[in-house]
Structure 1
Amino acid sequence: MSDTLRGVPSGSPAPRPDEGPPAPLPRRHLVFGAVSLALLMFSLDQTAVATALTTVSDDLGVDLAWTAWIVTIYAVGQILALPLGGRLADRFGSRRVFLVAVASFVVFSCLCAVAGSIGLLIGVRFLQGVATGLMLPAANSIVAHHYGRDRDRALAAFVSVIPIGAILGPLVGGLVLTVWSWHAIFLVNVPLGLVAALVGAALVQEPPRRSTAPVDVRGITLLIVTLVAAMVAITGTGRGTSGLAMTGIAAAVAVGGVWAFTRHARRREDAVVPWRLITGGGLGIMNVTNVLFGAAVIGFSAVLPLYAQTRYGLAPFAAGALLTGRAAGTIASSGVSVALLRRTGHRPLLIGGMAVIVLGLLLSAMSPVAATPPEIWLLVAATVLGVGLGLTGPAANNAGMHLVPDDVAAVTGLRIMFRQIGGIAAVSATTAAIAASATPGLAGAGAIVVLAVLLAGVTLLAARIPNQRGRW
């Protein structure tokens, strides 16, 4: 019996030998371009905003800890919407959800551009994150439907769009900050979103709908309470007795929320996050891997410009440009990963790529050697990390989905959700450590070392993930 069949959860349909894989649809490459343009918009926005944290803090006159919520609240919105996005795509259609989400993101980008207070900016960034979370599962479902038997390679290639945005985002963000204002960073999304929505409306065919289950309002509420409480506990609510008391209360609420949400997911078959997709047949290990993978990769990307500015005093443009090294490394190695995926399976690529990511994290935390300029040292470290990400990304994108091939949208939503949870924890903890430390640069380096140790530990767990060679 193969690894794949051993890892299929109970009740999941197994492919019959007499059933051939579906044929690719016409105009699939144009559809891929449309959904990729939307993904590029989301990726570009996330990395561009990361370069502007100190500028926004100075312009609006708020502490850096508050400014960091611009990044973390965006991730919270994604996390809350990702499992819901998979459900809505199944119920109302992936095409409709995709188009509404892209159009909404464009509107919210305009509102971010005119925001004059940190409260309004944080609120609209949350709505942007919700739009992103709704779009991603639908986009993956659209790609899988249009490519049929080639969906494994198409979905693996879909990941490579993210590093392109990571290359352009810091450059665009740094350039806009240099010649204009942080407000204009959000306006870059408008033309990209309009083109993606118009082309998508004209070309995308609706994938089959699979479910009409009602929306799990209670589960979503528990998820919101748990995540917000965890973020408050990590970032803190101020100094003194009252601040410590509020932090303790938030931590207790977060622990209670995890217990209540787990109990709810176990009891309700149509929960917003089904329990069978959390722990069933190999998915449990993959979900833990995604949490720490997100903490290392998403967290590192979000805090690298801040770390470079606080430890080495780099200008915003130079600090943001460091992420281009990570993106270039990802693009260079992701093609290799896609080409090897069917031959080796995803497990060897996953383990090898994460080991390279650990090396990149450790290099970035080290002091430059042999009088190497800090910007060159960090650029090399980010490039090494990017190579590891390129090897890991396509493999991690397929790992798990082949276990439940009829739940691509749901599994995609959960995969990204768990990564964003890890990213939120990493960003919140790192920015809190930097803001509270008398030596913020060294505090940032310590946080990066912790991320490297955690990812090294989860790499050992990844060896137990069921492997899959060939198509799925």
Structure 2
Amino acid sequence: MPRRQPTSVLSPSTDTDPKTPPDGKPAIAGDEPLPRRRLVFGIVAMALFMASVDQTVVATALAAIQRDLGASIEWSGWTITIYSLGQVLVLPLAGKFADMFGRRRVFLAAAALFTVASLCCGLAHNIALLVVLRAIQSIGGGSFLPAASGLVADHFGRNRDRALGMFTSIFPIGGIVGPILGGIFVTYWSWRGIFLVNVPIGAVLIILGLIFLPKGHRTPGKSIDVYGLILLGMLILGTMLGVTHLGNSNGSVLSVGFLVPEAIAATSLVLFLRHAARGRAPFIPMNLLRGRGFGVMNLINFLQGAAAIGFGALVPLYAESRYDIPTLQAGTLLTARAVGMICVAGLATFALRRTGYRPPMTIGFSLLIVGMVATAIGAPQGITPFLWLSIASGVCGVGMGLALPAANNAILQLAPDQVAGISGMRGMFRQGGSIMAVSIATAIIARSSDHGMTLGHIFIGFGCLMVLVLPLIYKVPEHRGGW
């Protein structure tokens, strides 16, 4: 018998075209009036915007959460990292569930879970409960994108590519609004407002979804690689627990609280790699982990996630602790970075066919290094700290806007027939890098007496990580033209 080839939960959807569903009847979604399709897009865009805001809004409120709940900084940082971890694990599952049970049903379930978890987060009175609730919230937030993508693809017919392309503009906007919104709530009310504001929005979203979202069709599902996802979760969670323990005053690398979680993480890593190489249907096949070009791009994505995403999550805390910049102003530093990204990302994308991937990645990551170092060394005489940090954040944003389109396409062109799977894996490595960076950084801060200066030294370390990325860029397979 021929050997069965590994398949991936993250692989491109096997849905039939909306115009020719399994029952042979003509699809109605693609033929519906434009206002109806716009309404569907508006509903799913609202959900994606709400989830994207929650990725950045907590960074602004981190210091306030720590003070109000009497928590240590390393455990407060878990409110950021656990949300990223939950999304890494739920994305492949949500995609399969959306195929198996229907996009509308999964979308509404995600909206309900996200809304209820947000309400509970806003009412939490200790850090442990808040971390658990943030994990639950991440399940809802991470389920939005696969379900929303399926709904739009089913409903827009031939125009699905344009509609899905518009999703990419939602997340940078969330990156702009999130920090400002967090600063406003913390300044004029409470950090609890960053969660409670989701409740009325989520309620409206559910009502609109029940009324206007199409039911669509289901696709018989293949097996879900739950074993692989559990191993990945144990790997990341074990590493986080061990690193967090080092932030305690009595923590050490020889203590049980460090050695046991790290041993679990190491064992999970070995089993995960073995499963990827030999499993019947791993959600990430081994050829996507270390095949031609994939190994170096996965390493670049991990280091970029650790340095750039981890750096962004800690900038507001740095501004508050080192320069006593008010929370609202500290949050706008992330807005400056998002604006810098938006200003150049579109132009960089259109220029890729002429420039190739390596030059924009080299220039972009170099600018990111400059911005990180400038943030860490402090403002020169004659310039206010807020203005200097705003300029540095803007430089970081421009660097990311240049580098990310090239990095995204550099890995996608390695296997154009597996775009969905590669996109999910790319996000997994970037989020995994940010989780590790924030966990390690907050553990180091917890052991220091001057959080601001310590964060400055950590940002220098992030810059050094990006220096390591520069020579790796020239191992990336170059390509010009479309793929």
TM range, smaller chain: 0.7 to 0.9
Structure 1 residues 396 and 52, CA gap change in structure 2 (3 angstroms): same
The CA deviation at 1:155 is: 5.8
- Could you tell me which residue of structure 1 aligns to residue 338 of structure 2? 327
Q: Secondary structure at the match of 2:367?
A: helix
Partners in 1 of 2:479 and 2:213 — Cα distance?
A: 32
Q: Which amino acid aligns with 2:125?
A: G
Structure 1 residues 281 and 241, CA gap change in structure 2 (3 angstroms): closer
The CA deviation at 1:162 is: 2.1
- How is 1:13-412 mapped onto 2 (pairs within 5 angstroms)? 27=34, 32-94=41-103, 96-140=105-149, 158-194=167-203, 202=212, 209=219, 212-237=221-246, 238-240=248-250, 244-245=254-255, 246-412=257-423
- Could you tell me which residue of structure 2 aligns to residue 444 of structure 1? 455
Structure 1 residues 128 and 410, CA gap change in structure 2 (3 angstroms): farther
Indicate the RMSD between aligned Cα atoms, in angstroms. 3.3
Bigger Cα Rg = 2
Partners in 1 of 2:159 and 2:297 — Cα distance?
A: 23
Q: Which amino acid aligns with 2:106?
A: V
Structure 1 residues 189 and 462, CA gap change in structure 2 (3 angstroms): farther
Q: Which amino acid aligns with 1:167?
A: I
Q: Which amino acid aligns with 2:112?
A: A
Q: Which amino acid aligns with 2:68?
A: D
Q: 1:430 aligns with which of 441, 449, 457?
A: 441
Structure 1 residues 157 and 465, CA gap change in structure 2 (3 angstroms): farther
Structure 1 residues 395 and 364, CA gap change in structure 2 (3 angstroms): same
Calculate the TM-score normalised by the size of structure 1.
0.85
Structure 1 residues 370 and 239, CA gap change in structure 2 (3 angstroms): closer
Query: Is contact 2:369–2:463 with CA below 8 Å preserved after alignment?
Result: yes
Structure 1 residues 403 and 390, CA gap change in structure 2 (3 angstroms): same
Query: Is contact 1:152–1:398 with CA below 8 Å preserved after alignment?
Result: no
Q: Deviations over 1:162-188 (max 9, x none)?
A: 221122111111111122111111122
Structure 1 residues 189 and 408, CA gap change in structure 2 (3 angstroms): farther
Partners in 1 of 2:218 and 2:405 — Cα distance?
A: 25
Structure 1 residues 359 and 311, CA gap change in structure 2 (3 angstroms): same
- How is 1:3-18 mapped onto 2 (pairs within 5 angstroms)? none
Structure 1 residues 327 and 318, CA gap change in structure 2 (3 angstroms): same
Structure 1 residues 103 and 83, CA gap change in structure 2 (3 angstroms): same
Q: Which amino acid aligns with 2:61?
A: A
Q: Deviations over 1:237-293 (max 9, x none)?
A: 533377841212322222222111111111113123332332234333222222112
Contiguous gaps of at least 5 residues in structure 1: 1-8, 14-21
Structure 1 residues 262 and 76, CA gap change in structure 2 (3 angstroms): same
Partners in 1 of 2:203 and 2:136 — Cα distance?
A: 18
Query: Is contact 1:65–1:235 with CA below 8 Å preserved after alignment?
Result: yes
- Could you tell me which residue of structure 2 aligns to residue 6 of structure 1? none
The CA deviation at 1:337 is: 2.5
Structure 1 residues 353 and 243, CA gap change in structure 2 (3 angstroms): closer
Partners in 2 of 1:199 and 1:39 — Cα distance?
A: 15
Query: Is contact 1:38–1:102 with CA below 8 Å preserved after alignment?
Result: yes
Query: Is contact 2:251–2:258 with CA below 8 Å preserved after alignment?
Result: no
Equivalent pairs, count: 455
The CA deviation at 1:327 is: 1.3
Partners in 2 of 1:75 and 1:113 — Cα distance?
A: 19
Contiguous gaps of at least 5 residues in structure 2: 12-19, 21-28
Q: Deviations over 1:173-225 (max 9, x none)?
A: 1111122111111122234445555666635786995x732222322221222
Query: Is contact 1:229–1:253 with CA below 8 Å preserved after alignment?
Result: yes
Partners in 2 of 1:276 and 1:141 — Cα distance?
A: 26
Partners in 1 of 2:192 and 2:127 — Cα distance?
A: 12
Q: Which amino acid aligns with 1:279?
A: R
Q: Deviations over 1:60-119 (max 9, x none)?
A: 122222211111111121122233334434544555434432332122111211212222
Q: Secondary structure at the match of 1:236?
A: helix
Structure 1 residues 147 and 442, CA gap change in structure 2 (3 angstroms): farther
Query: Is contact 2:103–2:150 with CA below 8 Å preserved after alignment?
Result: yes
Is 350-359 or 313-322 further displaced after alignment?
350-359
Q: Which amino acid aligns with 2:386?
A: E
Q: Deviations over 1:403-435 (max 9, x none)?
A: 444544433322211111111111111112222
Structure 1 residues 429 and 196, CA gap change in structure 2 (3 angstroms): same
Structure 1 residues 104 and 11, CA gap change in structure 2 (3 angstroms): closer
Q: Secondary structure at the match of 2:71?
A: coil
The CA deviation at 1:124 is: 0.7
Partners in 2 of 1:442 and 1:69 — Cα distance?
A: 21
Partners in 2 of 1:232 and 1:152 — Cα distance?
A: 41
- Could you tell me which residue of structure 2 aligns to residue 4 of structure 1? none
Is 281-290 or 71-80 further displaced after alignment?
281-290
